[in-house]
Structure 1
Amino acid sequence: MRRVWGVPVLYLLVGAVLAAALFAEGSTAGGVAVAVVFLVIALVHSPLFFPASTGAAEALRRGAADGRPVVFWRPGCAYCIRMRLRLGRSARRMHWVDIWSDPAGAAEVRAANDGDETVPTVFVAGRPHTNPPPAWVRGQLDASA
């Protein structure tokens, strides 16, 4: 669990140090701006930014039952963040699996990607798709509705 929050906490610490240095120099506006920027970056890299994760087995079972895509992701992944941002509100309708919190999810991703933990890996109708375009994923989600 610590690994999941490591990147966001690191961003918060770096932002706090930089903001404190700017405050010490008398630049209140600069310190506040740096603190806000690093807070936003930390939030985007945190698990809070993504829909609630489920276990791989449960997500794949639900995906097979309702036809919705299953997205395997990990915190701090730029491609996962891009996917999440571009999907917008529709991202909440999919099933998400954090591979750092679920060893079975990491194993599913490795099996689909020749031993690599390449994310996002999206399963649609039981078939894996590695780093597909967000528009394609949205189309698959719309087709399942």
Structure 2
Amino acid sequence: MQRWIWLVWLAGGVLLAGSTSGWRVTPWSLLIVAVAGALAWWTSPRSRGRSKRLADVMELPEDQRRVIVYWRPGCIYCERLRSSLGADAERAQWINIWQDPDAAAYVRSVNDGNEVVPTVVIDSQPHTNPEPSEVQAALAR
């Protein structure tokens, strides 16, 4: 269900805008649809474009995959981590678990069957929702 939450945001916004404005286009209805559209995009599996796949990342040289971040759209903890890393975020390998079933399976395997994100693998050791400073330190090495 979580993968389709963006449709709920979009449909809910359209229904709310229509029902509050008598199905006429008003500034308020446009605002409601715009906010719902932004939330739908933020939680959409394609919100940051096509993500790397686990198989492709594992083919990279070891020094290029020292830090692998498993994430999903709409996750505030993932966004917190990405923004806390700043420009260093580009040095990590980011894998969207909603676009890669193998990545989702890996995350479940290290989190007692749950898709907890962000799950960050640092030097082959998984860390569930680590502090950004820990990831920053690993990227700095």
The equivalences for 1:14-93 within 5 A come to: 14-24=12-22, 28-50=26-48, 52-62=50-60, 64-88=62-86, 90-93=88-91
**CA-atom RMSD in angstroms:** 2.8
- Aligned twin of 1:127: 125
The whole-number CA distance in structure 2 between the counterparts of 1:20 and 1:113 is 42
Q: 1:123 Cα deviation (Å)?
A: 0.8
- Aligned twin of 2:99: 101
Q: 1:99 Cα deviation (Å)?
A: 2.0
1:116 corresponds, among 114, 117, 132, to: 114
In the alignment, structure 2 segments of 5+ residues that lack a partner are: none
In the alignment, structure 1 segments of 5+ residues that lack a partner are: none
The whole-number CA distance in structure 2 between the counterparts of 1:63 and 1:36 is 43
Q: 1:93 Cα deviation (Å)?
A: 3.7
1:85-139 Cα deviation digits (max 9, x unpaired):
4445543442122223322212221222233221110111111110112343234
CA pair 63-28 structure 1, distance change in 2 beyond 3 A: farther
The whole-number CA distance in structure 2 between the counterparts of 1:20 and 1:40 is 17
Number of equivalent positions: 141
TM-score normalised by the chain length of structure 1: 0.76
The whole-number CA distance in structure 2 between the counterparts of 1:135 and 1:39 is 33
CA pair 88-30 structure 1, distance change in 2 beyond 3 A: farther
The amino acid across from 1:21 in the alignment is: S
- Aligned twin of 1:7: 5
Q: 1:14 Cα deviation (Å)?
A: 0.8
The amino acid across from 1:102 in the alignment is: D
The whole-number CA distance in structure 1 between the counterparts of 2:104 and 2:10 is 27
Secondary structure at 2:35's aligned position in 1?
Answer: helix
